């Protein structure tokens, strides 16, 4: 406590120097924390996107292995039968679901009309893609068996067509066909402005079999979702999918390259590695400003040692040890960086809070300050204070009473 009391007294006598030093450190810490917070916000948004698409899933599509100027005819088309074969094809694979995109339609209810992202899916799609409902039910096996004209509306479409009224049981016109609403998906990125409704909140679902009687011919799936038995066997699951489809369609090695399998486990790991590297990079970029602030603290501490040479010499003459002098200046340096660092953390937190509450599109990532970021920042602040004060503290501890008299 005596050291802290003396440190506050010494710093209080040099308020302008204290302000300049703490300002430099504060700006450095604020920039470092805020830049990491921006990347963390993007990371959280990407993680949520992966969660919405389903964790532990394989997404199977048919795409040309390389781009060419002339269109290429695919050697196979995915169907519901392929999905069934994959479900029973290997022990590393679990449930499957099919999806086909239907573009170019709007949904109508009376005079109201809304753009819609229509998808034809199987009944297992909702569980695999982790699609939660705000009301009603999802599609059932009976809906697919009887080719029922029912629809699960996206929350954005339901609000544009029905406002605050209940959409369940209401008829919705899409193209030349009428579908009864049996469910409404939960909001994914709610906005008060209808023009800002995201594409995810316009996604609506009809039975896969019904789509082939109404909108699209022949029977075909754009995507097959495959559940992985466990994350540990995701590579074996990818190989099993390619082997099963290759055998079913008698694909050659070159034709097999058309089967693209997007592995959510591998993509999540890669994304986490990239985001961690990016956080480290922007943290180092922000750390440059903190380094400049640390140099300022060091310069001010060196000036302080010069100005207080007589005081140091007097203390040494009355019996103060070199370690006491060294400790005193280290405490002052850490105190300066701590005050500036805490002010910087507060600035970064206020800036983050302000951006989070701006009326901007929900699809724009918001910065996020995590407890880990705060803990690392506090550690960096403490280390900066020690490093910035070490040389001045050692220099002060080597001053002798004779040198102090010579300085006078």
For residue range 56-97, list pLDDT tens digits in order. Answer: 789 999 988 877 667 778 888 899 999 999 988 788 888 999
Q: Is residue 158 in a domain?
A: yes
In this prediction, what percent of the chain has a pLDDT beyond 70? 85
Claim to verify: residue 220 and residue 109 sit in the same structural domain: yes
Claim to verify: residue 279 and residue 241 sit in the same structural domain: no
Claim to verify: residue 248 and residue 329 sit in the same structural domain: no
Claim to verify: residue 247 and residue 302 sit in the same structural domain: no
Q: Is residue 75 in a domain?
A: yes
Q: Is residue 402 in a domain?
A: yes
* Full domain range(s) for residue 99: 64-257
Q: Is residue 81 in a domain?
A: yes
pLDDT higher than 90, residue 317? no
CB count, 10 Å around CB of 299? 15
Q: What would the pLDDT profile of 189-203 be if each residue is shown by its tens digit?
A: 755 555 577 888 899
Q: Is residue 56 in a domain?
A: no
Q: Quote the CA–CA distance of 115 and 196 in Å, as a whole number.
A: 12
Q: What would the pLDDT profile of 239-256 be if each residue is shown by its tens digit?
A: 999 999 999 988 888 888
Q: What would the pLDDT profile of 176-192 be if each residue is shown by its tens digit?
A: 999 999 999 998 875 55
Claim to verify: residue 237 and residue 294 sit in the same structural domain: no
Choose between 52 and 62: higher pLDDT: 62
Give 15: exposed, middle or buried? Use CB within 10 Å, 0-12, 13-18, 19+: exposed
Q: Is residue 176 in a domain?
A: yes
| Radius of gyration for the alpha carbons in the chain, expressed in angstroms and rounded | 32
The reported pLDDT for the residue numbered 407 is 56
Judge whether 313 and 407 are in contact, CB under 8 Å: yes
Claim to verify: residue 283 and residue 361 sit in the same structural domain: yes
Last residue of a domain, one of 257, 283, 305: 257
Residue located via tokens 């699960």? 152
pLDDT higher than 70, residue 13? no
User: Which stretch, 19-33, 65-79, 242-256, 307-321, has highest mean pLDDT?
Assistant: 242-256
Claim to verify: residue 252 and residue 287 sit in the same structural domain: no
Q: Is residue 235 in a domain?
A: yes
The rounded Cα 54 to chain-centroid distance in angstroms is: 15
Q: Quote the CA–CA distance of 213 and 218 in Å, as a whole number.
A: 9
The total of structural domains in the chain comes to 2
Claim to verify: residue 117 and residue 156 sit in the same structural domain: yes
Claim to verify: residue 245 and residue 330 sit in the same structural domain: no
Claim to verify: residue 356 and residue 296 sit in the same structural domain: yes
Claim to verify: residue 99 and residue 77 sit in the same structural domain: yes
Last residue of a domain, one of 257, 280, 303: 257
Last residue of a domain, one of 231, 257, 283: 257
To the question of pTM greater than 0.75 for the whole model, the response is no
The rounded Cα 20 to chain-centroid distance in angstroms is: 36
Q: Is residue 59 in a domain?
A: no
Q: What would the pLDDT profile of 207-238 be if each residue is shown by its tens digit?
A: 999 998 888 777 889 999 999 888 788 889 89
Claim to verify: residue 342 and residue 403 sit in the same structural domain: yes
Instruction: Please state the rounded mean pLDDT for residues 307-328.
Output: 73
β-pair partners for 150:
180
């Amino acid at each position: 406590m005596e050291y802290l009391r003396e440190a506050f007294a010494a710093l209080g006598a040099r308020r302008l120097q204290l302000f300049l030093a703490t300002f430099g450190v504060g700006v450095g810490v604020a920039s470092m924390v805020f830049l990491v917070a921006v990347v963390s916000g993007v990371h959280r948004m990407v993680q949520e996107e992966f969660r919405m698409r389903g964790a532990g899933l394989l997404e199977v599509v048919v795409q040309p292995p390389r781009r060419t100027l002339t269109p290429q005819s695919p050697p196979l088309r995915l169907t519901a039968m392929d999905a069934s074969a994959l479900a029973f094809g290997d022990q590393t694979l679990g449930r499957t679901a099919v999806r086909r995109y239907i573009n170019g339609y709007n949904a109508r209810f009376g005079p109201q009309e809304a753009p819609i992202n229509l998808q034809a899916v199987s009944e297992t799609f909702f569980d695999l893609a982790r699609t939660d409902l705000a009301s009603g039910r999802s599609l059932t096996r009976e809906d697919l068996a009887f080719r029922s004209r029912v629809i699960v509306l996206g929350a954005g479409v339901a609000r544009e067509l029905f406002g605050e009224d209940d959409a369940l049981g209401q008829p919705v016109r899409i193209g030349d066909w009428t579908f009864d609403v049996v469910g409404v998906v939960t909001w994914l990125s709610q906005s008060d402005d209808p023009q800002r409704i995201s594409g995810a909140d316009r996604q609506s679902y009809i039975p896969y079999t019904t789509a082939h009687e109404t909108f699209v011919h022949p029977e075909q799936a754009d995507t097959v979702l495959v559940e992985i038995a466990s994350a540990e066997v995701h590579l074996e699951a990818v190989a099993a999918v390619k082997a099963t489809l290759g055998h079913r369609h008698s694909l050659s090695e070159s034709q097999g390259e058309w089967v693209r399998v997007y592995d959510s486990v591998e993509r999540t790991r890669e994304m986490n590695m990239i985001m961690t590297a990016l956080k480290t990079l922007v943290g180092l970029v922000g750390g440059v400003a903190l380094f400049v602030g640390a140099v300022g603290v060091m310069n001010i501490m060196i000036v302080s040692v010069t100005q207080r040479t007589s005081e140091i010499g007097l203390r040494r003459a009355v019996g103060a040890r070199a370690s006491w002098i060294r400790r005193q200046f280290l405490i002052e340096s850490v105190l300066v960086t701590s005050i500036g660092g805490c002010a910087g953390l507060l600035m970064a937190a206020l800036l983050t809070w302000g951006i989070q509450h701006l009326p901007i599109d929900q699809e724009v990532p918001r910065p996020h300050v995590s407890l880990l970021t705060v803990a690392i920042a506090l550690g960096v602040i403490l280390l900066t204070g020690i490093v910035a004060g070490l040389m001045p503290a050692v220099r002060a501890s080597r001053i002798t009473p004779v040198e102090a008299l010579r300085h006078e």
